[in-house]
Amino acid sequence: MKQARNVAILMLIALAIVAVPGAGNAWALAGAIVSLILFALLAYFAGRFYRDHQLDVYGLGDLDRATMYAAIAVVAVVLVGWGNLFDHTSGAVVAVVLLALSAAGLVRVYRNWQRY
């Protein structure tokens, strides 16, 4: 019964978005605000993680540290261009290849870090 009530609430919200004039813009604004909050939290936790593991990062070799930073930068670039990359099949292939190379680089850095 609880699930039916939750589905009914979601259907009423969807109906309000479709039926009420200007509600779509309000929901777009709410979605943008939630996205900004999410990215702010991700940035905060990434900075916090970096500060907590700064000694480990500097303990990596120069090549591993450069690989890690390059892989993180490639992931950031793909995320920024996500909407444009997936407009065409070639862009999707490029995005998947870049993400796979970044993952391989991060796995390499992790394995080298665990070796010591």
Q: What is the pLDDT of residues 56-84, one digit of tens each?
A: 888 888 999 999 999 999 999 998 888 88
Query: pTM of the entire structure?
Result: 0.64
Of the listed ranges 1-10, 18-27, 105-114, the one predicted with least confidence: 18-27
Interhelix angle 89-115/62-80, rounded to 10 degrees, is 150
For residues 95 and 85, the answer to whether their CB atoms sit within 8 Å is yes
Structure tokens at 108: 């390499």
pLDDT by residue (tens digit) across 88-109? 888 889 899 999 999 999 999 9
Q: Does residue 24 carry a pLDDT above 70? A: no
Domain ranges of the chain: 1-45, 53-116
Q: Give 56's contacts (C-beta < 8 A, 6+ positions apart).
A: 113
